[in-house]
Amino acid sequence: MHEELLEQILASYKGEKEELVPILQEVQENFGYLPEKTMLEIARFIGVPESHVYSVASFYAQFRLLPLGRKRVAVCRGTACHIRGAPQILNTIEQTIGLKEGETSEDLEYTLETVACIGCCALAPCVRINKEVSGEMNPGKAEKIFITNGNGSHDDN
Amino acid sequence: MTIKQTVLVCQGTGCVSGGSEQAFSLLKDEIQNSGHDEDILVKRTGCHGFCQQGPLIAIEPEGIFYTKVKMDDMPEIIQSLLPGGKALERLFYRDPATDKHIPYYHEISFYKKQERTILRYCGSIDPEDINDYLEIGGYKALRKAISEMTPEGVISEVKSSGLRGLGGAGFPTGRKWGSCRNAPGDVKYVICNADEGDPGAFQDRSVMEGNPHSVIEGMIIAAYAISAQKGFIYARAEYPLAVSRLKIAIEQARQEGFLGDNILASDFSFDLEIFQGAGAFVCGESTALVRSIEGKRGMPKVMPRPRTTEEGLWNKPTLLNNAKTFANIPLIINNGSEWFAQRGSEKSKGTAVFSLTGKVVNCGLIEVPLGAALRKIIYDIGGGVPGGKALKAVQTGGPSGGCLPADMLDMSVDFDSLIRAGSIMGSGGLVVMDEDTCMVDVARYFLDFNQRESCGQCIPCRLGTRQMFEILDDITKGEGRPGDIDLLFELSESIKRSSICGLGKTAPNPVLTTLRYFRDEYEAHIHEKRCPAGVCNIG
């Protein structure tokens, strides 16, 4: 099934070297990360050494070489968030879900990461879970999100 | 029937995170169900700027302004719009200084003290509808440039406006355009840098989300001026909303004949593509950005090298400007360079857009003439520091900039004054810090960022920033040594002198400015093992 999906993705590209970053982005969007096999296929498809694909994939912050959890938790470490307490938010979340920055839980429920800036600085500090941003965090609020989350759906408001 | 009221629902990233998308859909449906959709128009807009008070709704023509709107407020808002309804006082902005409710946005000092030109229509037009942009005179400048002006004429207009690149370095835009036009070769490119990798800055994102056509129109005019056939908007993948609005805008511009072959029936052809940056701060550097579009690691080229205007994307002459720089172009072409040059200081013309954040009462996106005093930005617009705390510092320029102390508040904010003070203008982040902020921790924070983002190509930056970070980390843990300050100066000097690109050359700035203005805090950490702001965990 993976092969088919990859084939479908590659079908919309011409196979040129400069398509590497967009291809990696689309593959990651579909697979959740960049499985080694797909990187080998991509190298063949655009006619570059496998090492080149790996060097590009490992250079940019966006790319993941390991599977991600279903809930991707990103704590913003932008400047505004930092001075308004992002380190404490990260700490709280680390303790609540039992993961350190960069780790994924064994059951693939959560991945905890930090991002350079979400761009929601006026609502600092911010946390993003998958595509949803929650602003004006404090440790108590952060803890609550994960306790609610663990029992079911994420409260939007 | 004619429209009597327009309800503008902010759909910037900040307000969306507060649920404004659902609010918009509900309002639209309910107004339609009530049968009043012929005289009440519900419109989706980009960022209104006052993100901290979001989700925001403005009602025109009066300018009624609702803040912190929740889904529970919707039934009452709908009632208030219908005949006989009254405005909802409880949703008005409450002025923290006077504790009074202010019904209209134009009476709120956050808005009153600004001069919004680039941002003028962010928040009043629907960014996903080209007709809204056309109604406010959109693409008129393009028409004027193509039908009444020569490419050289466009460049000379931009030159005499005095516009400088708003990406941070402040290079004169017209001169850059001129050298790209004069560079030999038939194939040329225009690139919009909308990577905005600075943590604590969101002004480019807001312009693209709020008025994407203004950036696109500016790019098309630039392409006409330098004779480029193809352009790219390099936008961060972390900004999905901006990317999707730009995609819609490009498609609409194509359909209207502003992009593609024979634009406006002339022999000028140009098309645009979006390239999503995969997350690397160093890609703000032109040569790194170009390599990234070419499908390579985004590592800057080593000096000496030709300028990007001569040898850029695929070794062809390439014009690279920031999104806000492009957004200024239609204004200059429409109103003339003299109009533009009225605003700003002697050597920095026009306006600047800042993301005003941190320990300040009114956080959000603001626009002021270049040369405005820091005091005006922080106190008149920002409303000062919350909680009766004392202002300690203002950080500009992100990880390449510096922290300016409270006694420099009367300094004018323009490219040259900031450089003299040891900081830079940067892309427009302005982070306010109060007495509870530890300046050594801030320096450590930025050096951590810089050492993570160093591309690793040259040793001074790769190892030097790492060393600086480790020294700062030790100091904040109470493990600082007496010679550390001298060592930080020495490392800063060699990193600045020998790094190959702007990231390395400016990486020590956060440390240098905090040492210059807040040396006593470093000394307290090192000698007394004490953090005066009470941030660092010492002992």
| Cβ–Cβ under 8 Å, residues B292 and B283 | yes
Q: Nearest-CA distance from A37 to chain B in Å?
A: 20
Helices (H) and strands (E) in chain B, counts: 21, 15
Residues of B in contact with A17 (CB under 8 A): 294-295
How long, in residues, is chain B? 539
Q: Nearest-CA distance from B150 to chain A in Å?
A: 34
SS3 letters across B405-473: EHHHCCCECCHHHHHHCCCCCCCCEEEEEECCCCHHHHHHHHHHHHHHHCCCCCHHHHHHHHHHHHHHH
Straight-line distance from the first to the last Cα atom of chain A, in angstroms, rounded to the nearest whole number: 37
- Cβ neighbours for B223, distance < 8 A, ≥ 6 positions apart: B190, B229, B231, B268, B270
- Within 10 angstroms of residue B101's Cβ, the number of other Cβ atoms is 12
Q: State yes or no: cis peptide before B61, omega within 30 of 0.
A: yes
Helices (H) and strands (E) in chain A, counts: 7, 4
Measure the CA–CA gap between B382 and B361, rounded to whole angstroms.
6
pLDDT per residue as tens digits for the range A83-111 = 999 999 999 999 999 999 999 999 999 99
Q: What does the pLDDT average to over B42-66?
A: 94
Q: Which pLDDT score, from 0 to 100, does residue A152 have? A: 40
Would you identify the CATH topology of the domain B439-527?
de novo design (two linked rop proteins) (1.20.1440)
8 Å CB contact of B278 and A61:
yes
Q: How many CB pairs under 8 A join A and B?
A: 148
Chosen CATH of B5-112 out of 3.40.50.300, 1.10.1200.30, 3.40.30.10, 3.40.1360.10: 3.40.30.10
Residues of B in contact with A21 (CB under 8 A): 275-276, 278, 292-293, 295
pLDDT per residue as tens digits for the range B328-348 = 999 999 999 999 999 999 999
Predicted TM-score (pTM) of this structure: 0.93
Out of A61, A80, A134, closest to residue B17 by CB: A134
Sole residue written with tokens 């009114």: B362
Kindly tell me if the per-residue pLDDT of B31 is higher than 80: yes
Q: Which pLDDT score, from 0 to 100, does residue A117 have? A: 86
Q: Does B431 touch chain A (CB under 8 A)?
A: yes
The verdict on domain B130-341 having CATH code 1.10.3720.10 is no
8 Å CB contact of B363 and A80:
yes
8 Å CB contact of B298 and A60:
yes
Q: Nearest-CA distance from A53 to chain B in Å?
A: 9
Q: What does the pLDDT average to over B89-109?
A: 93
Distances (CA, A) of B285 to A124, B168, B296, B302: 27, 11, 14, 12
| Cβ–Cβ under 8 Å, residues B177 and B227 | no
Q: Does B455 touch chain A (CB under 8 A)?
A: yes
- Cβ neighbours for B324, distance < 8 A, ≥ 6 positions apart: B118, B166, B203, B204, B207, B353, B428
Return the residue in B294, B297, B389 with the most chain A beta carbons within 10 A, the one to mutate for interface testing.
B297
- Within 10 angstroms of residue B466's Cβ, the number of other Cβ atoms is 16
Determine the CATH number of domain B351-434. 3.10.20.600
Q: Does B280 touch chain A (CB under 8 A)?
A: yes
- Chain A residues with CB under 8 Å of a chain B CB are 16-22, 24-25, 46, 55-56, 59-63, 77-84, 115-124, 126, 131-135, 156-157
| Cβ–Cβ under 8 Å, residues B278 and A61 | yes
Percent of chain A scoring above 90 in pLDDT: 82
Sole residue written with tokens 């309804």: B85
Residues of B in contact with A18 (CB under 8 A): 293-295
With DSSP H G I counted as helix, E B as strand and the rest as coil, what are the percentages for chain B, rounded to 5?
45, 15, 40
Q: How confident is the model at residue B1 (pLDDT cuts 50, 70, 90)?
A: low
DSSP class of residue A76 equals E
Residues of B in contact with A156 (CB under 8 A): 19, 22
Q: Which residue has better confidence, A146 or A152?
A: A146
Ordered by where they begin, the domains of chain A are 2-59 (1.10.10.1590), 71-151 (3.40.30.10)
Measure the CA–CA gap between B249 and B243, rounded to whole angstroms.
10
Q: Which pLDDT score, from 0 to 100, does residue A147 have? A: 79
**Average of per-residue pLDDT values in chain B:** 95
Burial of B446 (0-12, 13-18, 19+ CB in 10 A): buried
Q: Nearest-CA distance from B371 to chain A in Å?
A: 23
Sole residue written with tokens 């929650």: A134
Q: How confident is the model at residue B198 (pLDDT cuts 50, 70, 90)?
A: confident
Q: Regarding beta strands A71-76 and A127-129, do their DSSP bridges make them parallel or antiparallel, or are they unpaired? A: antiparallel
The ranges assigned to domains in chain B are 5-112, 130-341, 351-434, 439-527
Whether the complex's predicted ipTM is more than 0.90 is answered with no
> 109-168 in B: which are within 8 Å (CB) of A?
none
Chain-centroid distance of CA A82 in Å reads 20
Percent of chain B scoring above 70 in pLDDT: 100
The sign of the torsion formed by the CA atoms of B410, B412, B416, B419 equals positive
Q: What does the pLDDT average to over B361-377?
A: 95
Q: Which pLDDT score, from 0 to 100, does residue A151 have? A: 43
8 Å CB contact of B363 and A77:
no
Q: Which pLDDT score, from 0 to 100, does residue A149 have? A: 53
- Cβ neighbours for B407, distance < 8 A, ≥ 6 positions apart: none
DSSP class of residue B97 equals T
Q: Nearest-CA distance from A19 to chain B in Å?
A: 6
Q: How confident is the model at residue B239 (pLDDT cuts 50, 70, 90)?
A: confident
Q: How confident is the model at residue A154 (pLDDT cuts 50, 70, 90)?
A: very low
Q: Nearest-CA distance from B447 to chain A in Å?
A: 12
Kindly tell me if the per-residue pLDDT of A156 is higher than 80: no
Q: How confident is the model at residue B167 (pLDDT cuts 50, 70, 90)?
A: confident
Q: Does B23 touch chain A (CB under 8 A)?
A: no
Angle at B84 between CA B83 and CA B90, to 5 degrees: 110
Lowest mean pLDDT among A1-5, B97-101, B142-146: A1-5
Q: Which pLDDT score, from 0 to 100, does residue B367 have? A: 96
8 Å CB contact of A119 and B202:
yes
Q: Per-residue DSSP letters for B331-398?
A: HHHHH-HHHHHTSB-SSSBSEEEEEEEES-SS-EEEEEETT-BHHIIIIIIT---GGGPPEEEEEESG
For helices B212-226 and B140-148, what crossing angle results, to 10°? Answer: 10
pLDDT per residue as tens digits for the range B312-321 = 999 999 999 9
Residues of A in contact with B291 (CB under 8 A): none
8 Å CB contact of B199 and A117:
yes
In the numeric block, which tokens belong to residue A76? 């913003």
| Cβ–Cβ under 8 Å, residues A112 and A73 | yes
